Amino acid sequence: MFRRNFLSTGLAASALLAAPAWAQDEVQKIRDLYKRGGALSDMATQNKGKRISFEGYMAPPLKAESKLFVLTNIPMAVCPFCGDDAEWPDNILAIYTKRNVEYLDYNIKFVARGILELGSFRDPDTGFVSLIRLTDATYALG
């Protein structure tokens, strides 16, 4: 009996971690959003308003129970984005989800997919200012 429960629990956990079909789409790199010097790339402007995927790591949360997190291109255990959009780093991407975020450890790589929006935006809940972001986003292990 124990073995059967163990196997079924393991299969259920595998299903939860399985990547959705969209995770197999072409996954972009955050660095491809920018040209040298920090200007937005052609890839960014051509994909404005489109649903696209990016891979990366979840930065530490700005606040508990939020629909916002920051995707980074490398694992970061501390705040990489505590400035305004004039100081916006070219290795992060703001991600807005429909539901409150379930935070992942900062060193787990995953894929986020959403609608690419460009231009300065101040989040009304956190005061976080972003230059570029994904909205209506979902995320899963890749």
Q: State the Cα–Cα distance between residues 72 and 95, nearest whole angstrom.
A: 10
Residue 63: the pLDDT is 77
Q: If the chain, 142 residues long, is cut into consecutive pieces of 10 residues, what is the mean pLDDT of each piece?
A: 40 43 72 88 96 93 85 78 55 91 90 96 88 95 78
Cα–Cα distances in angstroms (integers) from residue 23 to residues 19, 54, 104, 114, 140, in the given order = 6, 9, 17, 11, 8
Q: State the Cα–Cα distance between residues 93 and 114, nearest whole angstrom.
A: 11
Maximum distance among all Cα pairs of the chain, rounded to whole angstroms: 62
Q: Where are the alpha helices (DSSP H) in the chain?
A: 2-17, 42-46
Q: State the Cα–Cα distance between residues 104 and 86, nearest whole angstrom.
A: 28
Helix (H, G, I), strand (E, B) or coil at 24: helix
Residue 38: the pLDDT is 77
pLDDT digits (tens, 9 = 90+) for 2-25: 444 433 334 333 343 455 554 456
Question: Mind listing the domains of the chain with CATH numbers?
Answer: 20-140 (2.40.50.140)
